[in-house]
Amino acid sequence: MSIYDTLNENQREAVFHTEGPLLILAGAGSGKTRVLTHRVAYLIEQGVMPYHILAITFTNKAAEEMKERVDDIVGENGGSIWVSTFHSMCVRILRRHIDRIGFDTNFTIYDTDDQKTLMKEVIRLLNIDTKVFKERMLLSIVSSAKNEMVSPDEFEQRMEGDFQKKRIAKVYREYEKQLKKNNALDFDDLLLKTVELLQRDEEVRSYYQDRFRYIMVDEYQDTNTVQFELIRILSDKYRNLCVVGDDDQSIYKFRGANIQNILSFEDVYKDARVIKLEQNYRSTQTILDAANAVIQNNKGRKEKALWTDNGQGDVIAMKTFESAYEEAEYVVGDISQKVREGKEEYKDNAILYRTNAQSRLFEEKFVTAGIPYKIVGGVNFYSRREIKDILAYLKTIDNGKDDIAVRRVINVPKRGIGLTSVNRVQNYAQDKDISFYDALLGADFIPDIGRGLSKLESFVALIEYLKGAKEKLGLFDFVKEILSKTEYIESLEQEDPEVAQTRMENIDEFISKVAAYEENAIASGEQASLSGFLEEVALVADIDSLDESQDYVILMTLHSAKGLEFPSVYLTGMEDGLFPSYMTIVADDKDELEEERRLCYVGITRAKQHLTLTNAKRRMIRGETQYNKTSRFLKEIPRYLIAKGAVFEREKPDRDGFGFKPKTGFRENPFKERKPIKQFNVNDSSGPGYDVGDRVLHTKFGVGTVTNITAGGRDYEVTVNFDTAGVKKMFATFAKLQKQ
């Protein structure tokens, strides 16, 4: 029996088609890794030297898995095959030949921290105003330029006539100058300099074109412009290029991925063969029918439809709850019941969500129920840096005896208190047998404290003020006062605007937790207190002793779930405003919405046997109760695929044009008084600080012109035509646009 007999017809066709450009459209769970490894084996059988084969993946884990599978099939013959990530391959090439483009072969590779340090030096050398040009924003712009293969010269030419952008061009040029001076490359350079080398040096280009006569690229939908060009050059001589990917699973645009690389493959390679792998080996047909129905609403895609021999399977459970609290309670209870009845193990279940902040309620429920869980692609909610920082402030204010808490926040945000001063305070506290905070109260008695005294006294004054505020304010308002007086949010934005968004979402979720604690205390007739809140959080957060070898329920974001599979999947928070995101809806960006829909498709296709889709009518965001509509993605799933417990009823179409809403099997009391939705009101008649026609700067989209400003009930809605990102609509409060 041949090893190829285990492949289906389309898989065999992909394996045996070895000459010329080939696009393999591999749907979710269609066995693409098996195809790639068998294709390597077949090439070797046909007399191709392993030395002439290159296989590129996106992660080291995927590369190692492919190496192991190749070795299992071809044995020692696979030893000289290059199986690596893009960046690993480029480093190998550059170590041998980078001297041909002016660098020494012992170049240094700068990581993110090195890049930040270098950019700070560039900012200092050019006397750049960091209030206008944030360090992280400049690094992001430079990275984007490199990924699009835009040189400093070309970047400057494009900025002609725009003073602010000319400044950014100077930063880019000086940044490159300093890299060269230090004989260093950043992460983007590993790709860009390899392309530059191949373009400029005919001898090197010819060598690697002859070396890599058969090239295979996995996850092709995730490639960016420079990766596309790198592969194009390497394969240009023999043109035996096989790319494998699924445009329906392209979900990394925010990392620079260009979906057009896979959508336009046949335009670049006119003689390309296209083979679709549509047979799925993972899921039931019901789950695949739901995924197909959702993704077919995207216009920018290759037509395909997944099918399986696994059988029809169970219908999809769709549950609508009054609140996010009830959503979490149901999901955790459902998993617990299945395990008790012996139907599944904990590890058979995965809870997927759009944002990391959504994990908090599930974590609390799991801890309360004594169910082990593990967060993949993130950390425990209460172990995240920003949450630990806020909790440390609360602990410091509560009694001041927690030395670890005080030391954590004494220089957070940065207030110029160095390690030397902290150590002197600590030594004094130990000598006098007092707490660290008590030592701070008498800091003027500490020997050799010197110029650090005024900064320590300023910190103590802040804590003493907050202690007084605690007695006057409710817990919810008190936490907001801490964030305001410490300027913690502002420090996150200055530190790293891109990461700050996720951290602020987590802080918003924490504030929601505080509000929920107060509401529960009032409902129970108890007094809400800081000590009581800290006690409740401590019980929830104490999960660090869980053994990772145990049987876990998996929690993760949808982005982290790509490539994984589970017998049972709970896709949660399926509400317009959360998934798809609020900003995607407001911006009315078709491309962004299609990416969100692809993310939904990825989530659905993680499920093997059972899929549960949940949403909540109300959810607390940033301490405010918000009422969201059912996600438009749920409304795209045919009703016959959904369990009877979630029947759709027709209603008058809403403003978005959707005429269905889920009915959960219970009837709400029509005389029940509804809690009014809290609103952010626009009271400042002076406007957001800029007018139509003004030039403004956005940390992500760059510089643009304001074309419209509308005062809404929640905020000012601002429309901006950005020079490079196009037209975007956003709320002024969140956009934080800076007038130029």
Residues 269-324 pLDDT 10s: 999 999 999 999 999 999 999 999 999 999 989 999 999 999 999 999 999 999 99
Among the listed residues 332, 278, 293, 346, the one whose alpha carbon sits nearest the alpha carbon of residue 8 = 278
376 membership: H or E segment, kind and range:
strand 373-376
**Cβ neighbour number for residue 307 with a 10 Å cutoff:** 13
pLDDT given for residue 527 in this prediction:
82
Q: Is 606 a catalytic residue?
A: yes
Of 33, 209, 296, 738, the active-site residue reads: 33
Question: C-alpha distances in angstroms, 636 versus 115, 178, 300, 353?
Answer: 44, 52, 17, 19
Q: Is 219 a catalytic residue?
A: yes
| Radius of gyration from C-alpha coordinates of the chain | 28
Q: Is 502 a catalytic residue?
A: no
Least confident of 170-184, 287-301, 644-658: 644-658
Tell me how many degrees the CA angle 387-677-688 measures, rounded to the nearest 5. Answer: 75
Of 12, 32, 597, 632, the active-site residue reads: 32
- Across the chain, mean pLDDT equals 84
Q: Is 632 a catalytic residue?
A: no
Better-predicted residue by pLDDT, 402 or 511: 511
292 contacts 42 by C-beta, under 8 angstroms: no
Confidence band of 712 (pLDDT split at 50, 70, 90): low
Share of the chain above pLDDT 70, in %: 88
pLDDT given for residue 80 in this prediction:
79
pLDDT one-digit tens code per residue, 431-462: 888 888 888 998 888 888 888 898 999 999 99
CA 196 to chain centre: 30
Confidence band of 689 (pLDDT split at 50, 70, 90): confident
> What is the arithmetic mean of pLDDT over 41-51?
89
> What is the arithmetic mean of pLDDT over 141-147?
89
Residues in Cβ contact with 441 at an 8 Å cutoff, skipping those fewer than 6 apart: 460
Among the listed residues 568, 564, 660, 577, the one whose alpha carbon sits nearest the alpha carbon of residue 618 = 577
pLDDT one-digit tens code per residue, 604-637: 999 999 999 999 999 887 777 888 899 999 999 9
Among the listed residues 25, 30, 94, 33, the one whose alpha carbon sits nearest the alpha carbon of residue 65 = 33
pLDDT given for residue 380 in this prediction:
65
**Cβ neighbour number for residue 707 with a 10 Å cutoff:** 13
Q: Residue 477 above 70 pLDDT?
A: yes
pLDDT given for residue 539 in this prediction:
54
Of 196, 219, 589, 595, the active-site residue reads: 219
pLDDT given for residue 686 in this prediction:
55
Share of the chain above pLDDT 90, in %: 43
Annotated binding site: 26-33
Annotated binding site for ATP: 26-33
CA torsion, points 37, 41, 42, 44, in degrees to nearest 10? 140
707 contacts 727 by C-beta, under 8 angstroms: yes
> What is the arithmetic mean of pLDDT over 209-235?
94
CA dihedral sign of residues 580, 635, 659, 324: negative
> What is the arithmetic mean of pLDDT over 206-213?
96
Better-predicted residue by pLDDT, 211 or 675: 211
pLDDT given for residue 675 in this prediction:
38
Q: Is 249 a catalytic residue?
A: yes
Distance from C-alpha of 317 to C-alpha of 4, rounded to nearest angstrom: 38
pLDDT given for residue 655 in this prediction:
34
Q: Is 32 a catalytic residue?
A: yes
Of 37, 223, 227, 249, the active-site residue reads: 249
pLDDT given for residue 113 in this prediction:
58
| pTM, full prediction | 0.69
Of 135, 189, 218, 402, the active-site residue reads: 218
Of 12, 301, 384, 606, the active-site residue reads: 606
pLDDT one-digit tens code per residue, 6-37: 999 999 999 999 999 999 999 999 999 899 98
Distance from C-alpha of 423 to C-alpha of 426, rounded to nearest angstrom: 5
Better-predicted residue by pLDDT, 362 or 255: 362
**Cβ neighbour number for residue 720 with a 10 Å cutoff:** 26
Indicate left, alpha or beta for 450 from its phi (over 0: left) and psi (-120 to 50: alpha).
left
Amino acid of residue 414: K
Residues in Cβ contact with 193 at an 8 Å cutoff, skipping those fewer than 6 apart: 90, 94, 98, 101, 103, 185
233 contacts 245 by C-beta, under 8 angstroms: no
